[in-house]
A = this chain, B = another copy of it.
């Protein structure tokens, strides 16, 4: 049984990735990044709830404190002096919720863990179709990153997989339905931690995905 790491933010895309990795029969290891975002605690709860759902033992869960990102700054998610703005959801503009090079930092840590415990696959719920503004959600970025893994590791047989990268949010919802993932345990809102705001970029994308899939989002909205 091969080991696999799934980057589980607690959001819908990573939840569906977990469902895919589960279906493919890997020994699941869940990785969560707490980078001090405003909804950090709520996302952590979703991470644990999803891990419980897939029977991932505590020793296979890892939460990395990314608070050191605050020292770098440049993003509304980690810099409290910047307010999170709203976006239409599919703008070509790079949102100010962008943490410079964040995915590379996250992936590097994940690969380090993968190499330390000899996992071969790393699932990340990157999604290009609905996030054209994020440069590190592009398929070409992941191709380049996999080359870096090949060049920069001892084992060189670790691969980052992005199974939902080409899917529209609607298709992610439908894939999750097919795999019977627990959407009710996930969290996507950037702004609120009690009920989802329904208005931020992330909520807007999620709601549209459910709507287009003809499904009701089971989480509570304000």
Contact = CB atoms under 8 A, between A and B. Distances in A.
Contacts of A147: 144, 147-148
A111 B196 CA distance: 33
The bracket for how many chain A residues form the interface is 35 or more
Which of A65, A99, A135 is most buried by chain B, counting CB atoms within 10 A of its CB? A135
Nearest to A63: B71
Interface of A: 62, 64-66, 68-69, 71-74, 94, 98-105, 108-109, 111-117, 135-136, 138, 140-141, 144-145, 147-154, 156
Given A111-B100, A148-B145, A64 B73 contact: no
A148 B151 contact: no
A164 to B, nearest CB: 18
A71 B73 CA distance: 23
B148 A135 contact: no
A115 B102 CA distance: 11
B153 A101 contact: yes
26 contacts: A64-B71, A69-B112, A72-B109, A74-B115, A74-B116, A74-B117, A94-B154, A98-B154, A99-B112, A100-B112, A100-B113, A100-B153, A101-B108, A101-B112, A102-B112, A104-B112, A105-B105, A105-B112, A135-B151, A135-B152, A135-B156, A136-B152, A138-B152, A144-B144, A144-B148, A147-B148
A62 B103 CA distance: 21
B135 A104 contact: no
Nearest to A136: B152
A182 B148 CA distance: 34
A141 B136 contact: no
B100 A115 contact: yes
Contacts of A115: 74, 100-101
A108 B111 contact: no
Contact of A144 (B69, B71, B152): B152
Given A135-B154, A144-B152, A154-B135, A104 B100 contact: no
A151 B134 CA distance: 10
A71 B152 CA distance: 20
A119 to B, nearest CB: 11
